[in-house]
Amino acid sequence: MDLLLLAATALGAIGLYLMLPRERAPLVRIGTLLGAMALAGFFLFLVRSVEQNIGATAPDVSTRPPLVFYVFAAIMIGGAVGVVCQPKPVYAALYFVLVTLAGAGVLVLLMAEFMAIVLIIIYAGAILVTYVFVIMLASQGSSPSEGGGTGGDVKAPAYDRRASSSFSAVFVSFVLVGAVLQVLLPTHGPIATRNASLINPMAAMMVQSVGITSNPQPAGTVGQPSMGVEATTKNATGIEPIAPSNVQLLGASLYSQYSLSLELAGILLTIALVGSVVIARKNVDVDTESLGTGKVPVE
Amino acid sequence: MSQMELYHYLALGAILFAIGLVGFLARRNMIMMFLCTEIMFQGVAINLVAFSRFHMNPSGQSFMIFLLTIAAAEASLALGLVILLFRRRETLNVDEWSEMQG
């Protein structure tokens, strides 16, 4: 195993272990320092791998993501560590918003703008709001039985201030991440990307739409044979054919290739909606006599 | 996009998944456990979209739509269960329910 990768993984594991909430005060500063060193180690490992790999790749293929990616990745990882290590659930939810926003940035870098917007709307807008609602509903910081303080500063309950079996959790997870990073490391240059546009007509369209071809010709002349009926008919009417956008490609894929799955997803959402209402509802004894009389039924 | 660039995104996804796994295994608050699964979902989502970009195939993004569907369904059901359990015992501690392991 690569020594730098091993060191970075171990440092990250120790840092996360120190930052997890526990009985004594967690060593947040030392943990943050070790975590930052681990991130720097991962960064150096990636840079070194890029440099070792650069001879094997074709010159027109990018070998590393733009620098902004590293910024977004650092924000995501830092936010995730914040979620895991924050004793108070509300702050953890706010850290999760940070993770979601940085994740949307990473998706934009991957040319998936629609998914980035959807991620923000669904995660930060819907799921997170549900979480915050439940945190408010089920908060028990003021109940003295669980060790919550009754003073002005409400302390988190005991089970939030203490993580159980944190050593084994950190060990398992970071052995997993070290193994995955080591195994996935590419040992040879790109094979699949070179000819992807020749194999898959949809890939050719996507290449056009994201504009990664180094061909300086206008878009209409490059991929005309593979663009299908719509482009040629548009061309016949004198309108310049427009390369399909990411959303168009996604819609074509969803409603042709995965249309049945899409219906099933809708059914699943309906079932989950009904199920959650049934699960979470209180057993209210409905007084049948008071129905329709405007009286509020008493629990 | 080369394999090396793809590797960056896969590494980010793997690290996010691992951090979420740590949280799921170590935290005792039921709400926090499910919040950590959402982090794991995000790591997987980045993997899917990165492969979609690598293979120039929009199927990966379609899968991310389904992943978001599953995440929403999971969140609603899980939070309904959390509210139900909280009403029974007035605590979010998952150790209180350890007799449910059978």
- Sign of the Cα torsion A207, A208, A209, A211 reads positive
Same domain, A123 and A16: yes
Q: How far apart (Å, rounded) are the C-alpha atoms in residues B55 and B43?
A: 19
ipTM of this complex:
0.92
Same domain, A55 and A117: yes
Domain region containing A238 = 196-257
| Residue A290 pLDDT | 60
- How close B89 gets to chain A, by Cα (Å)? 11
Rounded to two decimals, what is the model's pTM? Answer: 0.79
First to last CA, chain A: 63
Same domain, A32 and A8: yes
Same domain, A115 and A239: no
For chain A (299 residues), the mean pLDDT of every run of 10, in chain order, is 86 88 78 89 87 65 82 94 89 93 94 91 90 84 46 63 83 90 72 47 55 44 42 53 81 91 94 89 66 59
Interface of B with A in 73-102 (CB under 8 A): 73-77, 79-84, 86-87, 90-95
* Residue B23 pLDDT greater than 50, yes or no: yes
Of the candidates A110, A111, A253, which has its C-beta nearest B62's C-beta?
A253
Question: Is A95 inside any structural domain?
Answer: yes
| Residue A18 pLDDT | 86
| Residue A24 pLDDT | 73
| Residue A87 pLDDT | 85
* Residue B7 touches chain A, beta carbons under 8 Å: yes
Same domain, A57 and A110: yes
Question: Is A268 inside any structural domain?
Answer: no
- CA distances in angstroms from A197 to A62, A243, B62, listed in the order given: 16, 14, 20
Looking at the 3D structure of chain A, how many domains does it have? 2
Give bridge partners of residue B93 from the DSSP assignment: B29
The tokens 């060193």 sit on which residue? A37
* Residue B16 pLDDT greater than 80, yes or no: yes
Same domain, A177 and A238: no
| Residue A164 pLDDT | 79
Same domain, A108 and A223: no
Q: Would the CB atoms of B28 and A159 count as touching at under 8 Å?
A: yes
Same domain, A77 and A104: yes
- CA distances in angstroms from A161 to A84, A89, B52, listed in the order given: 12, 11, 40
- How close B13 gets to chain A, by Cα (Å)? 9
Q: Write down which residue in A129, A150, A184 finishes a domain.
A: A184
Chain B positions touching A135 (Cβ under 8 A) are: 31
Fold entry, domain B3-96: Helix Hairpins (1.10.287)
Q: Which residue has the higher pLDDT, B74 or A143?
A: B74
Domain with residue A111: its CATH number is 1.20.120
Q: How far apart (Å, rounded) are the C-alpha atoms in residues A45 and A47?
A: 6
Q: Which of A158-162, A193-197, B18-22, B59-63 has the lowest mean pLDDT?
A: A193-197
Which residues are CB-contacts of B29 (< 8 A; sequence separation ≥ 6)? A89, A157, A159, A160, B92, B93, B94
Same domain, A129 and A205: no
Question: Is A234 inside any structural domain?
Answer: yes
- How close A293 gets to chain B, by Cα (Å)? 30
| Residue A152 pLDDT | 43
* Residue B45 touches chain A, beta carbons under 8 Å: yes
